[in-house]
């Protein structure tokens, strides 16, 4: 059997096209400028050449150019079986043996479509920051999209050959943290997670809601009494002033305040760890804002000293971004306390010193678009060498059928509660469909968890990150349609076929099939499989797991259409059956690898 090299075939065709154009026009065109695309499904062919760029030099109509090049390629390239012309597009059909060779070369490659981990020590990494929770509340539905998106993007970038470092920046300081602390100090009476029977992050979140509830009452009273706006009333409310004072005391390292802060944060971290583990999320390094804001303040003060920044009469420090057609940006308040921008400046410097990254990707919602635009401009103004490495992966908000969530009112969808609800829905749906009849209790629990998390993750990741999305838990757990469970079920179906075939039948020394016997459904499936590596590269370039999700869904549909019409194990011709087993095996590997890039496990049976 021939040694298959699909990229080699494309390069061979591109070189031949360049030669044909030179012979016909006398003009030299580099082969790397000849771009071949996968032929669209609604046209006959495997590869498509757009000939419009060559029309002027060849002095012919687009149709004549395409036909001339197609006929010449059929004579020069043995892998080209036929061609057709649609306006200015030349569609090339490859010989069937090309696809058989492709299958045989890749059938046993468990890392099919994925590049090997980057081993070059000199290769600059890509740092991906995601999660970035506040320690005043538990993780919620919005955090789920952030975590799943960041974790998947990191995996996809790695699969495309990048060295990747996944990091988390915990927002463990600031006025919002002080609100929870103040409420606990005022109303808590020494309550702990153990005494309350709650996860620590939930207990602290309850006190954040209690603070806001008490503050609203004060604000309403001030508005009625003084006739001022809500914003003015919030600023002058006693509780808000106490919280601001608590923040100042924290920054001055008041022992009493620091002790409360450390105690409550420890409760939160323990709760976060449980949620991350359940979600299947991990990080290579965790940064804390309480560390990075100090470095940020030093950088700002150094910028002020070098006259790159300006100080106003009240003592506050600002960046004048008029040269970038933006307004002034506050970097240090009049009382010397830091703002979010301050800590982001410090964090960027720290990551540069830690990793010297090629890029620093921040996975943060689109409500922070302006913030990251300003961050980059401030770093440019400060002449930091890593300013151009900043990349904001902006994603849309997650909404529910009944509207947006609000942390202050405590109307958020708790991440743990959602995962529990998904688990219960997975259990109920799976049992109703009779898919666990021969499972023991441990196997059932494992399956329900995989289905629940597969449904949740896939539903979140199949949507373009830039778009807002409506999350409907009931729609996500469905064994039909564009869902995680549908893809998991397709994988399990193939796994069952491979188990029934047995290891001996899967370990062939050669495929004995005559390529001429391959049918259109099989070739369509092989074409789809051949594009997986390119999809991974495109998804990495776009930082979009949605491209992987949409690819694997289409692949599963393609396989099911094939399987509906053609038997694998019951095919009487052994050569055909063996070949289809290898086709099923490569499809199985591709589904598994695709879903792994989305952070989703696939069950071997269901």
Q: pLDDT tens across 76-107, in order?
A: 999 999 999 998 899 999 999 999 999 999 99
- Three-state secondary structure call for residue 469: strand
pLDDT per position as a tens digit, 414-453 = 899 999 999 999 999 888 887 777 899 999 999 999 999 9
Which pLDDT value is given to residue 553?
98
| Average pLDDT of the residues of the chain | 92
Of the candidates 167, 281, 158, the residue with the CA atom closest to the CA atom of residue 539: 158
Check pLDDT > 60 for residue 5: no
For residue range 554-565, what is the model confidence (pLDDT) as tens digits?
999 999 999 999
Strand, coil or helix: what is 595? helix
Which fold does the domain 6-94 belong to in CATH? Answer: Gyrase A; domain 2 (3.30.1360)
- Confidence class for position 402, pLDDT limits 50, 70, 90: low
**126-167+288-413, what's its fold?**
Rossmann fold (3.40.50)
Residue 405: pLDDT over 50: no
Residue 500 has pLDDT above 60, yes or no: yes
Give the pLDDT confidence of 238-275 residue by residue, as tens digits: 999 999 999 989 989 999 999 999 999 999 999 999 99
295-318 pLDDT per residue, tens: 999 999 999 999 999 999 999 999
The Cα-based distances of 479 to 416, 426, 487, 490 in angstroms read 23, 10, 8, 9
Q: What is the 3-state secondary structure (H, E, C) of 360-374?
A: EEEEEEHHHHHHHHH
Candidate ranges 102-106, 337-341, 406-410; pick with highest mean pLDDT: 102-106
Q: Which CATH class is domain 415-597?
A: mainly alpha
Structure tokens of 57? 């030099």
In angstroms, rounded to a whole number, what is the distance separating the alpha carbons of residues 275 and 199? Answer: 10
Which tens digit of pLDDT belongs to each residue from 185-243? 999 999 999 999 999 999 999 999 999 999 999 999 999 999 999 999 999 999 999 99
Domain boundaries, the chain: 6-94, 126-167+288-413, 172-283, 415-597
pLDDT exceeds 70 at position 410: no
Could you give the C-alpha distances from 57 to 70, 80, 444, 571, in angstroms and in order?
17, 25, 66, 53
- Output the pLDDT for position 433: 81
pLDDT of residue 411: 54
């Amino acid at each position: 059997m021939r040694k298959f090299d699909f990229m080699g075939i494309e390069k061979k065709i591109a070189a031949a096209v360049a030669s044909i154009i030179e012979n016909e026009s006398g003009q030299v065109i580099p082969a790397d400028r000849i771009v071949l695309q996968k032929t669209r499904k609604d046209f006959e062919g495997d590869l498509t050449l757009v000939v419009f760029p060559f029309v002027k030099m060849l002095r012919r109509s687009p149709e004549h150019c395409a036909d001339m090049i197609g006929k010449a390629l059929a004579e020069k390239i043995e892998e080209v079986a036929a061609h057709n012309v649609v306006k200015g597009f030349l569609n090339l059909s490859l010989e069937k043996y090309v696809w058989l060779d492709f299958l045989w070369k890749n059938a046993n490659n468990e890392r099919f479509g994925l590049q090997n981990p980057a081993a070059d020590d000199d290769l600059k990494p890509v740092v991906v920051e995601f999660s970035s929770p506040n320690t005043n509340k538990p993780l919620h539905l919005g955090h789920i999209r952030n975590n799943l998106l960041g974790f998947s993007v990191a995996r996809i970038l790695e699969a495309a050959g990048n060295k990747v470092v996944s990091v988390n920046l915990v927002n463990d300081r600031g006025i919002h943290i002080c609100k929870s602390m103040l409420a606990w100090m005022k109303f808590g009476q020494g309550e702990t997670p153990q005494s309350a029977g709650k996860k620590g992050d939930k207990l602290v979140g309850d006190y954040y809601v209690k603070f806001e509830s008490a503050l609203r009452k004060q604000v309403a009273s001030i508005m009625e009494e003084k006739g001022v706006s809500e914003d003015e009333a919030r600023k002058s409310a006693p509780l808000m002033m106490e919280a601001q004072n608590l923040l100042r005391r924290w920054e001055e390292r008041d022992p009493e305040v620091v002790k409360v802060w450390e105690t409550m944060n420890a409760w939160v971290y323990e709760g976060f760890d449980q949620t991350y583990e359940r979600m299947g999320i991990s990080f290579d390094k965790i940064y804390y804002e309480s560390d990075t804001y100090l470095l940020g303040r030093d950088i700002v003060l150094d910028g002020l000293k070098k006259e790159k920044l300006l100080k106003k009469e009240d003592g506050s420090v600002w960046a004048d971004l008029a040269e970038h057609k933006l307004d002034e940006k506050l970097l240090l308040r009049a009382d010397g306390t830091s703002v979010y921008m301050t800590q982001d400046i410090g964090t960027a410097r720290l990551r540069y010193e830690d990793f010297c990254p090629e890029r620093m990707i921040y996975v943060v919602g689109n409500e922070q678009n302006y913030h990251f635009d300003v961050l980059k401009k401030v770093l440019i103004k400060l002449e930091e060498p890593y300013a151009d490495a900043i990349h904001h992966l902006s994603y849309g908000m997650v909404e529910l059928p009944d509207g947006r969530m609000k942390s202050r009112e405590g109307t958020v969808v708790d991440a743990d509660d959602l995962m529990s609800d998904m688990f219960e829905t997975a259990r109920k749906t799976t049992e109703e469909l009779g898919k666990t009849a021969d499972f023991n209790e441990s196997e059932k629990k494992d399956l329900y968890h995989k289905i629940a998390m597969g449904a949740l993750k896939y539903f979140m990741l199949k949507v373009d990150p830039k778009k807002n999305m409506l999350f409907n838990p009931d729609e996500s757990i469905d064994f039909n349609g564009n869902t995680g469970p549908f893809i998991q079920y397709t994988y399990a179906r193939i796994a069952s076929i491979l188990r029934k075939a047995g290891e001996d039948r899967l370990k062939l020394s050669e495929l004995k099939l005559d390529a001429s016997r391959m049918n259109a459904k099989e070739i369509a499936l092989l074409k789809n499989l051949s594009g997986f590596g390119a999809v991974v590269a495109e998804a990495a370039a776009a930082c979009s797991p949605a491209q992987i999700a949409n690819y694997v869904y289409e692949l599963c549909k393609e396989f099911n259409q094939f399987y509906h019409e053609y038997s694998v194990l019951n095919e009487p011709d052994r050569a055909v059956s063996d070949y289809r087993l290898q086709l099923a095996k490569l499809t199985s590997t591709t589904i598994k690898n695709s879903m792994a890039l989305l952070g989703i496990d696939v069950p071997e049976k269901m």
